[in-house]
Amino acid sequence: AQSVTQPDIHITVSEGASLELRCNYSYGATPYLFWYVQSPGQGLQLLLKYFSGDTLVQGIKGFEAEFKRSQSSFNLRKPSVHWSDAAEYFCAVPGNTGGFKTIFGAGTRLFVKA
């Protein structure tokens, strides 16, 4: 069965520092992969997605993610974090049990310190 693991419950980085949020997946074939961001009290916004092709995917707000099949990973990165990036980040893959459900990771809370 598909699963998504985000090993870090929370991460704190200094403003201006680089960021990497980890995501590992379990999937039977080449997956579609997503990263979503959720600000407090808000819904989820799609940051970026991987369907096929170039394994380095560019997203909104300066984020990028790299699909590494050998490591079953899809880590999210940003070279320079801004205070407004503080939020919850979810990695996700589609389920294959029908109904087009999405399997979400547990989320990583990003704190940004001045």
Verify binding: residue 106, other proteins, rule CB under 8 A: yes
d(CA 111, CA 43): 18
Query: How many residues line the site for other proteins (CB under 8 A)?
Result: 25
Binding mask 77-96 for other proteins (x = CB under 8 A): -------------x-xxxx-
**Closest CB to other proteins among 75 and 104?**
104
Q: What is the closest distance, in whole angstroms, from the C-beta atom of residue 62 to other proteins in the complex?
A: 21
| Binding characters for other proteins, 48-67, by CB under 8 A (x = yes) | -x-x----------------
Largest CA-CA distance found in the chain, in angstroms, rounded: 45
Q: Does 24 bind other proteins (CB under 8 A)?
A: no
DSSP, residue by residue, the chain: --EEE---SEEEEETTS-EEE--EEE-SSSPPEEEEEE-TTS-EEEEEEE-SS-SEEE-GGG-EEEEEGGGTEEEEEESS--GGG-EEEEEEEE-SSSTT-EEEP--EEEEEE-
Residue with tokens 């979503």: 36
To other proteins, the closest distance from the beta carbon of 64 in angstroms equals 18
Pick one of 43, 53, 54, 70: the residue that binds other proteins (CB under 8 A).
43
Binding site for other proteins (CB under 8 A): 32, 34, 36, 41-46, 49, 51, 90, 92-95, 99-102, 104-107, 109
